[in-house]
């Protein structure tokens, strides 16, 4: 089964002329059918898609991994280029989110109102559970927390009933392609924990064939979490690991050392067959 990805938005630029920002957008192609996973922070996914010669009108649907601006901020620009498409996300993705750093309280949620998203898209599909979005391709829905080293992040908050609470990220999910050789897993930021996500996917699909996306190991994650995650990846040993976005260059280079040719550093403009 032929599965390809094109990275349209990422923190690192690839070939000349591509642009980068703190964001993620990955075009998934399965047997010629296209799905867009996240839309980046601004309109760069549209710009980089144009450079790659990808016509966004050919995507069937869009999925948003969780309610952070660096994954959904580009939604209006993408829908402008793609035309109305169905947009999938967890209902809690629309709740207001903040990053608190010292005296700063930054709004980091989705700026578009629900009504605006509904009018721009071909329908907003809100679901907390698993959903099939194309044949053999599905969203995981909520990810159970089973590890003891992947907990809440101290700077990220959710506004609930007028109060800031540590963000539980119930909305954070992954995209999974079911193939005869195992599951291909696309993450957003992996706020649920990369190992929690992979364990959840393995319960249903068995083997993990490839992992693509953000890991959140580069945002001040404790070294013990980085090591435990890499140990788990070593145990599971996917054929390809393409991590990027919030993984950070230090962890990416450690992964390159450890996983050698199984590891591909992600960047905008990257085209890969998995």
90 touching Fe ion, by CB under 5 A: no
Give 130: exposed, middle or buried? Use CB within 10 Å, 0-12, 13-18, 19+.
middle
Positions in 230-269 near Fe ion (CB under 5 A) = 246
Specify the stretch interacting with Fe ion by CB under 5 A; choose among 116-124, 137-145, 182-190, 262-270.
Answer: 182-190
Give 161: exposed, middle or buried? Use CB within 10 Å, 0-12, 13-18, 19+.
exposed
Q: How far is the CB of 172 from Fe ion (least distance, A)?
A: 8
Q: Are 266 and 242 in contact (CB under 8 A)?
A: yes
Positions in 50-69 near Fe ion (CB under 5 A) = 68
176 touching Fe ion, by CB under 5 A: no
Looking at beta carbons only, is 111 or 119 nearer to Fe ion? Answer: 111
Looking at beta carbons only, is 29 or 167 nearer to Fe ion? Answer: 167
189 touching Fe ion, by CB under 5 A: yes
Q: How far is the CB of 33 from Fe ion (least distance, A)?
A: 26
Looking at beta carbons only, is 76 or 219 nearer to Fe ion? Answer: 219
Looking at beta carbons only, is 138 or 188 nearer to Fe ion? Answer: 188
Residue from 10, 70, 150, 171 binding Fe ion (CB under 5 A) = 70
Q: In 3D, which of 112, 54, 55 has the Cα closest to residue 87?
A: 112
Per-residue tokens: 135 = 């044949």
- Distance between CA atoms of residues 175 and 256, nearest Å: 24
First vs last C-alpha separation in the chain: 10
Positions in 109-168 near Fe ion (CB under 5 A) = none
Looking at beta carbons only, is 83 or 222 nearer to Fe ion? Answer: 222
- Distance between CA atoms of residues 241 and 217, nearest Å: 14
Widest Cα–Cα separation across the chain: 51
* Sequence-ordered alpha helix ranges (H) in 121-193: none
Looking at beta carbons only, is 1 or 101 nearer to Fe ion? Answer: 101
Q: How far is the CB of 185 from Fe ion (least distance, A)?
A: 16
* Sequence-ordered alpha helix ranges (H) in the chain: 44-51, 69-72, 75-82, 114-120, 194-205, 223-236, 249-259
Q: Count CA atoms within 13 Å of residue 66 on its CB side.
A: 25
- Distance between CA atoms of residues 21 and 246, nearest Å: 11
Looking at beta carbons only, is 54 or 158 nearer to Fe ion? Answer: 158
Q: Does residue 86 sit in helix, strand or coil?
A: strand
Q: How far is the CB of 248 from Fe ion (least distance, A)?
A: 12
Q: How far is the CB of 216 from Fe ion (least distance, A)?
A: 7
Q: How far is the CB of 225 from Fe ion (least distance, A)?
A: 16
Q: How far is the CB of 245 from Fe ion (least distance, A)?
A: 6
Looking at beta carbons only, is 30 or 77 nearer to Fe ion? Answer: 77
Residues that bind Fe ion (CB under 5 A): 68, 70, 189, 246
């Amino acid at each position: 089964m032929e599965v390809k990805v094109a990275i349209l938005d990422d923190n690192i630029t690839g070939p000349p002329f591509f642009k980068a920002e703190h964001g993620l957008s990955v075009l998934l192609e399965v047997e010629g059918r296209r799905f867009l996973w996240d839309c980046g922070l601004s309109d760069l996914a549209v710009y980089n898609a144009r450079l790659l010669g990808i016509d966004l009108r050919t995507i069937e649907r869009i999925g948003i991994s969780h309610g952070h601006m660096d994954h959904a901020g580009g939604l209006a620009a993408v829908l402008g280029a793609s035309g109305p498409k169905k947009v999938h996300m967890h209902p809690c993705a629309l709740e207001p989110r903040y990053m608190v750093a010292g005296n700063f309280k930054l709004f980091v949620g989705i700026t578009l109102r629900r009504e605006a998203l509904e009018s721009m898209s071909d329908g907003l599909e809100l679901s907390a559970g698993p959903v099939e979005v194309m044949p053999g391709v599905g969203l995981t829905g909520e990810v159970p927390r089973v590890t003891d080293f992947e907990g809440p992040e101290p700077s990220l908050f959710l506004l609930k009933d007028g109060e800031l609470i540590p963000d539980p990220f119930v909305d954070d999910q992954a995209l999974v392609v079911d193939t005869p050789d195992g599951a291909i897993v696309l993450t957003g930021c992996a706020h649920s924990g990369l190992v929690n996500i992979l364990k959840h996917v393995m319960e249903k699909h068995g083997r993990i064939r490839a992992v693509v996306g953000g890991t959140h190991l580069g945002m001040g994650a404790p070294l013990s979490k980085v090591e435990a995650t890499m140990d788990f990846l070593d145990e599971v040993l996917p054929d390809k690991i393409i991590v990027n976005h919030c993984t950070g260059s230090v962890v990416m280079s450690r992964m390159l050392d450890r996983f050698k040719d199984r590891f591909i550093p992600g960047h905008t403009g990257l085209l890969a067959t998995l």
